[in-house]
Chains A and B, each alone.
Chain A
Amino acid sequence: MQLKPKPPLPAKTSLRRLLATAATGLLAGTHAHAQEVPSDVPTTTLDTGLLYYHENGRVRAIEPDFNLTQQVNENSLLSLGFTVDSVTGPTPLGAVPSTLPQSYVRPYKIIPLGTPVTVTTASGGSVVTLVPPATGATTQTLSATRTVPANTYLLDNSFKDLRYAVNAGWQQTLDAGFTLNGGLAYSKEHDYRAETVNLGVSKDFNQHNTTLNAGVNYESDLSFPLGGTPTPLTVMNGGWKGPDARRSEVDAVLGLTQVMTRRWLTSLSYSYSNGHGYENDPYKIISVVDPISGQPISQLYENRPDYRRKQSVYLENKVHLSKDIVEVDLRGYRDDWGIKSITADLRYRYMLPGDAYLEPHARYYKQSAANFYDYYLVSGQPLPEYASADTRLANFHALTYGLKFGMPLDVGSEVSIRIEYYDQIGNGSPAFAIGQLRQQNLFPALTAVTVLLGYSYAF
């Protein structure tokens, strides 16, 4: 699995909210007896978090996050962010389980021609063998083959990745009530790189009860998988593969926020995204099975379209009751891969004495599969143009249950801890399953626990 490197968006703290913790620092120079600006109003906020992510006996990740926001002057805000993501653990590759043992082979290393090689064991219990070199080649490839026992998922056991991401943003209030914002972000892991630039503008109307905002985002990615980029829908093999692959994406968002009443805030936004380039996961495979027995005959590298257009509508509502706050968010999403989804989030912030709080959270998510999603392909049938067995693109629904505890420390400072449980539920026994596949669970269960520690300090 790749925690696909979507660089975290720059911490877009509303300038208004930061002004609530800002000092001017500028004294009226003409009046010698002018009183100094109170120094207790903070201009800098440090937002930090530590995420611990644990998937049912599989992927584990630790991610510290740092964000610094600095009120540069009355009208300008600077934000800087940094995050490191350490991900380890195996992830399903997309092959179906079988009543027989299965192997996964991947290119492991390139060595000069003629280097003596003895069969060894690489990381994760793989067997290293030499791939016969092509005529005229000056190098040859070592491939690693990993065999799993019967009735287990083929997992990429050697998966280990370190990702880091940085971002910087600027927010400027102009005359006539416009606020401009812009930012850059960069994210890198051992086989992927993403660069983003974003620009946005917002304006208030109706005595600050209505805010309209618009933003655009451009992202350019480079994929350089270990072993090279495979030719889609070719049989899995240990040979060194193709060159780096690119993709780019343009996103636009239009949002409207309205303070409806003294207690109720609502925000509606529409986003559009247009991506093209390399959209495949270079490590994922799809099994071709025997039409009678359902046994996998071969594994093919997946293929997705080289374009993706997405749209979503997002509605956020916050209601302040006499002490507590309720939040209800809804999102509808569709894209031209055929995926449609709805998301509903509910949070209830229950205030405790001393301004501490307990916040239970529930999230419901339901998605319909991409057009080209298949559990497996059947031998003898014509090969489709696009095919992927990545469960991320399948039919499923997911539930999240969480509880957060937070406590303010000082003005603008807070410490918090949030524990969440995520459960993804798909159909592991489709009615059309053939042969041995009928007794297999074709949707690998996914449950995860996350713990997020938060600490923000204003000074």
Chain B
Amino acid sequence: MNMRRMFEHCSPNRRTEFLKVALLSVVLASLGGCASLGPKPWQHDLMAQPAMSVNSDPLQSAVDDHIYFSKEGSSGGRSYAGGGCGCN
């Protein structure tokens, strides 16, 4: 709730900037400080399942994006890489 009030005081540009900084922080924290976040390499059994990958049904996502794009005012947003078995 405090987060919400914090946002309300920001102008729209400040809010976007805040979001950008937040995203960047998560990225950097993940790469550096939280270097051990995540399971061990031999614990990727569930992630290896096709249904557990990011955007596991690209055809369905493309169809949905297309339908919603033609009926609504927003579009896009997705990215596609990551997850999986992590095999080398």
Q: Which residue of B lies closest to A19 (CB)?
A: B87
Q: Which of B60, B68, B76, B88 has the most CB of A within 10 A?
A: B76
Bound CA–CA A401/B51 (angstroms): 20
Q: Is the interface of B mostly helix, strand, loop or mixed?
A: loop
A213 contacts B69, CB within 8 Å? no
The answer to whether A374 has its CB under 8 Å from any CB of chain B is no
Closest to B16 in A: A311
Residues A256 and B26 in contact in the complex (CB < 8 Å), given A8-B66, A17-B53:
yes
Closest Cβ of chain A to B84, distance in Å, is: 4
A6 touches B66 (CB 8 A): yes
Say yes or no: is A49 at the interface (Cβ < 8 Å to chain B).
yes
How far is B71's CA from A367's CA once the two chains are assembled, in angstroms?
12
Q: How far is the CA of A313 from the CA of B20 in the complex (A)?
A: 9
Q: Is B10 interfacial (CB-CB < 8 Å)?
A: no
Contact among B40, B44, B51, B82 with A202 in the assembled complex (CB-CB below 8 Å): B82
A314 in contact with B35 given A47-B59, A210-B30, A325-B52 (CB within 8 Å): no
How far, in whole Å, are A343 and B78 apart by their CA atoms in the complex? 12
Instruction: Classify the interface of chain A: helix, strand, loop or mixed.
Output: strand
Interface residue from B23, B47, B63 paired with A65 (Cβ < 8 Å): B63
* CB <8 Å contact, A207 and B47: no
A206 to B40 Cα, complex, angstroms: 10
Residues A452 and B63 in contact in the complex (CB < 8 Å), given A210-B31, A258-B30? yes
When the two chains form their complex, are residues B54 and A314 in contact, meaning their CB atoms are under 8 A apart? no
Residue of B23, B78, B86 with most chain A CB atoms under a 10 A cut-off:
B78
Chain A residue at smallest Cβ distance from B76: A271
- Give chain B's interface residue range (CB within 8 Å of chain A): 35 or more
CB pair B62–A9 under 8 Å, yes or no, is yes
The docked-state distance in angstroms from the alpha carbon of A261 to that of B84 is 13
Q: Which of B36, B67, B70, B81 has the most CB of A within 10 A?
A: B81
List, in ascending order, chain B residues with CB within 8 A of A424's CB. 71
B40 closest partner in A (C-beta): A207
Binds B, one of A23-31, A125-133, A247-255, A284-292: A247-255
**A310 CA / B81 CA spacing, docked (Å):** 22
Assess the B31–A212 pair: CB atoms within 8 A.
yes
Task: Let me know if B58 and A11 touch, CB within 8 A.
Answer: yes
Q: Is A212 in contact with B60, judged by CB distance below 8 angstroms?
A: no
Interface pair A392/B62, CB less than 8 Å apart: no
B83 touches A207 (CB 8 A): no
User: In the complex, which residue of chain A has the Cβ closest to the Cβ of B84?
Assistant: A16
B79–A65 touching, CB < 8 Å: no
Confirm or deny: A246 has a beta carbon within 8 angstroms of a beta carbon on chain B.
Answer: no
A258→B69 CA distance, assembly (Å): 28
Q: How far is the CA of A16 from the CA of B84 in the complex (A)?
A: 6
Q: Once the chains are docked, how many angstroms separate the CA of A416 from the CA of B51? A: 13
In the docked arrangement, what's the CA distance between A311 and B23, Å?
13
Q: A3-B70, A213-B81, A393-B73 are in contact. Are A256 and B86 (CB under 8 A)?
A: no
Contacts of B67 in A (CB 8 A): 53, 422, 448, 450
Q: What are 25 A-B residue pairs whose CB atoms fall within 8 Å in the complex?
A: A8-B62, A8-B63, A20-B84, A49-B59, A67-B58, A67-B59, A202-B81, A207-B86, A210-B38, A211-B81, A255-B82, A256-B30, A267-B54, A270-B19, A273-B76, A310-B75, A312-B74, A312-B76, A316-B54, A339-B73, A341-B72, A365-B68, A365-B72, A370-B73, A454-B60
Interface pairs A-B: 5 shortest CB-CB: A257-B82, A209-B38, A208-B86, A255-B79, A211-B82
